[in-house]
Amino acid sequence: MIESKNRIDPNFNTSSMSDLVFLLLIFFMLTSTLISPNAIKLLLPKSTSGQTMAKQNVTVAIDSQYNYFVENQPTPKEELQGAITNYLQSVTDGTVKLHADKSVPIEYVVSVIDAVNKINSQTGQKHKVILATKPE
């Protein structure tokens, strides 16, 4: 009689599957902590127009404590024009997207618009400022 040396083991080995699940768990935990689309918490004013801009070159934010952020970097009011200029140097008709908390007085919004207007008068460009809102 011919006997086979290969025997079927009825026990299932789960060690490789538990390693795989553990690695997936670590992967998802690491990638979920790296995702932070808006690092600055703002309550944007509501708007019914719902228009979206396809392209913005610089993002400026003003939080509820009246702090300015250019591309999520804290920026003093005095350095606002220089910081925006750095991002708009190679752009002819740029767009500055302004995220202002709804509790921010209008004078802080106007200071960003003034900074962009000064850049336009110095460089002869036609950069514009748009105000970010959330849909109603």
Q: Give the CB-side neighbour count of residue 39, counting CA atoms within 13 A.
A: 11
The mean per-residue pLDDT over the stretch 121-127 comes to: 84
* The pLDDT of residue 100 is above 80: yes
Q: What domains sit in the chain, N to C, each tagged with a CATH number?
A: 46-135 (3.30.420.270)
If phi > 0 it is left, if psi is from -120 to 50 it is alpha, else beta; for residue 76 that is beta
pLDDT in tens, 35-44: 655 555 555 5
The mean per-residue pLDDT over the stretch 59-65 comes to: 88
